[in-house]
């Protein structure tokens, strides 16, 4: 996400650093480029204008122009203003009401609303809550079945509606059912349309009036850019939203919606969807996102992801093996599987300060299909081969390729990746994040 914007801003700041001492003209020229980069990222033009003026008023002051590191001061100002633009601090769900608390998810058809209901249910379950899912979209029959299947996958209870009843009646019955079952939260998947219309809004307003939900969250597609901002504005005017969940930020989103929604609607982004998997929902942190946009990394999110994905006991065992240089192909497979839980290599590297702007070597760009191939190759080896890969001569590699349904080139590529990973982990043991970056790109 934001890759193009990050590259352009990095280029602007590189030029600023090249000047040493800055003049007002240098700053104005840089801000013209920042303005253009934001407009190309589909940030609302009024938001861009106000943002640039705030930076200009601060950047041409004495504390910057007379500073020993004026370029760093400008970057610091841009960072602070980006954080402010996106809401300042992360905004949490308000769950202080008497349970069960209705939470309405609203939005246009195709924004990922039903999947987001499942993701949010999983998120709340992991926080110790008891969420119940309600399919109140009777206009799209597949929505009811989709939510039912998500509930089965996540082991979350799903209300069984009568599709002939109105969404309001379904929600009222679901609220009583959740109360009887001692559920904490009622996550309501409301109907969407291809566009905003009066019938849709009346339906949602009825549910809001009768259920008095603790939160009304708009699910908006980041891929639609300024359209997402306009949709947020219209829904907020009708329903008085408590926040926004921005989906598909892992796609080819330029970032305009994330940078514009708070400024245009006054409502915070509470969560972002960063993938299709049911755990790909993250709390939105403006400070962390601003750091990522400026290529500063996001170490806190990286640590959180690692804590969720990596088994502490296995990590200690791996550390002992690395110290004794006993890292085997079995360990390699296990590490790939744990890293996969954290996201793609590119996503992880984007969180490491100074590394995210570098280009990832093609042979390290992992995917789920590649991991399946790796598992097949390693499983086709004998225990001795997995623990002592140096014995893998030509005939052994040919046998493994045939046994795994791959090619000798695939086996060779795996061994190359294994050696590269071994080198990376050694570097990390010696020098932490900086050592890891050297290992990856040396």
Whole-number pLDDT of residue 440: 40
Annotated domain spans of the chain: 3-85, 101-296, 301-441
Q: Cβ(243)–Cβ(86) under 8 Å?
A: no
Q: Retrieve residue 127's tokens.
A: 């926080």
Query: Is residue 27 classed as helix, strand or coil in its secondary structure?
Result: helix
Closest residue by Cα to residue 204 from 241, 177, 229:
241
| pTM (two decimals) | 0.68
Question: 120 falls in which pLDDT band (50, 70, 90)?
Answer: very high
Question: 246 falls in which pLDDT band (50, 70, 90)?
Answer: confident
Q: Please give the CATH topology (third level) of the domain spanning 3-85.
A: 1.20.120
Query: Is residue 429 classed as helix, strand or coil in its secondary structure?
Result: helix
**Does the structure show a pLDDT above 50 at 434?**
no
Q: Cβ(269)–Cβ(231) under 8 Å?
A: no
- For the packed helices 70-85 and 286-293, what is the interaxial angle rounded to 10 degrees? 140
Q: How far apart are CA 313 and CA 309, in angstroms?
A: 12
Q: Cis peptide before 329, with omega less than 30 degrees from 0?
A: no
Provide DSSP, 163-181: TTS-HHHHHHHHHHHHHHT
301-441 placed in CATH 1.10.260.30: yes
Q: Cβ(414)–Cβ(434) under 8 Å?
A: no
Question: 65 falls in which pLDDT band (50, 70, 90)?
Answer: low
Q: Cβ(161)–Cβ(170) under 8 Å?
A: yes
User: CA-based angle 350:352:358, to the nearest 5?
Assistant: 55
For the ranges 31-35, 88-92, 333-337, 435-439, the lowest mean pLDDT is seen at: 435-439
The position carrying tokens 């760093």 is 72
Q: Please give the CATH topology (third level) of the domain spanning 101-296.
A: Rossmann fold (3.40.50)
Whole-number pLDDT of residue 301: 54
Q: How far apart are CA 411 and CA 401, in angstroms?
A: 6
Q: Retrieve residue 13's tokens.
A: 């700041």
Q: Which tens digit of pLDDT belongs to each residue from 330-360?
A: 777 777 766 666 665 556 655 555 444 445 4
Whole-number pLDDT of residue 149: 92
The position carrying tokens 């030029």 is 15
Query: Is residue 406 classed as helix, strand or coil in its secondary structure?
Result: coil
Q: How far apart are CA 143 and CA 430, in angstroms?
A: 51
Q: Which tens digit of pLDDT belongs to each residue from 292-325?
A: 787 765 455 555 555 555 555 666 666 666 666 6
Please count the residues of the chain: 442
Q: Retrieve residue 74's tokens.
A: 């400008």
Closest residue by Cα to residue 294 from 259, 264, 318, 267:
259
**Does the structure show a pLDDT above 50 at 435?**
no
426 vs 40, higher pLDDT = 40
């Amino acid at each position: 996400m934001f890759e193009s914007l990050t590259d352009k801003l990095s280029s602007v700041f590189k030029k600023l650093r090249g000047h040493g001492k800055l003049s007002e003209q240098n700053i104005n020229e840089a801000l013209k480029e920042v303005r253009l980069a934001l407009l190309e990222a589909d940030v609302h033009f009024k938001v861009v204008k106000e943002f640039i003026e705030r930076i200009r008023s601060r950047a041409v002051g004495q504390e910057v122009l007379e500073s020993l590191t004026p370029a760093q001061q400008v970057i610091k100002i841009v960072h602070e203003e980006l954080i402010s633009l996106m809401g300042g601090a992360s905004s949490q769900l308000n769950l202080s009401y008497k349970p069960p608390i209705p939470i309405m998810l609203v939005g246009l058809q195709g924004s990922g609303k039903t999947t987001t209901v499942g993701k949010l249910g999983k998120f709340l379950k992991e926080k110790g809550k008891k969420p119940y899912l309600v399919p109140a979209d009777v206009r799209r029959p597949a929505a009811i079945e989709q939510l039912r299947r998500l509930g089965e996958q996540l082991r979350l209870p799903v209300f069984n509606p009568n599709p002939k009843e109105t969404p309001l009646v379904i929600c009222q019955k679901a609220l009583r059912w959740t109360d009887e079952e001692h559920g904490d939260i009622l996550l309501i998947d409301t109907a969407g349309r291809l566009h905003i219309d009066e019938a849709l809004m009346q339906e949602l307003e009825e549910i809001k009036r009768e259920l008095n939900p603790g939160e009304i969250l708009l699910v908006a597609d980041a891929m639609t850019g300024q359209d997402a901002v306009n949709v947020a504005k219209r829904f907020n005017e009708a329903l008085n939203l408590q926040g926004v969940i921005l989906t598909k930020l892992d796609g080819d989103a330029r970032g305009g919606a994330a940078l514009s929604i708070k400024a245009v609607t006054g409502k915070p982004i509470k969560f972002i969807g960063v993938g299709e998997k049911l755990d790909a929902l993250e709390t939105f942190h403006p400070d962390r996102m601003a750091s990522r946009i400026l290529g500063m990394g996001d170490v806190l999110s990286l640590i959180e992801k690692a804590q969720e994905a990596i088994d502490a006991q296995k990590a200690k065992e791996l550390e002992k093996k690395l110290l004794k240089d006993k890292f085997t192909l079995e360990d390699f497979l296990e590490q790939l599987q744990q890293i996969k839980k954290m996201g793609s290599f590119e996503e992880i590297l984007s969180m490491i300060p100074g590394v995210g702007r570098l280009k990832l070597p093609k042979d390290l760009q992992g995917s789920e299909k590649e991991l399946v191939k790796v598992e097949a190759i390693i499983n086709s080896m004998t225990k001795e081969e997995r623990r002592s890969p140096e014995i893998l001569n030509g005939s052994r590699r040919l046998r493994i390729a045939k046994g795994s349904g791959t090619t000798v080139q695939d086996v060779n590529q795996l061994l190359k990746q294994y050696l590269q990973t071994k080198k990376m982990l050694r570097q990390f043991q010696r020098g932490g994040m900086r050592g890891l970056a050297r290992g990856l790109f040396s």
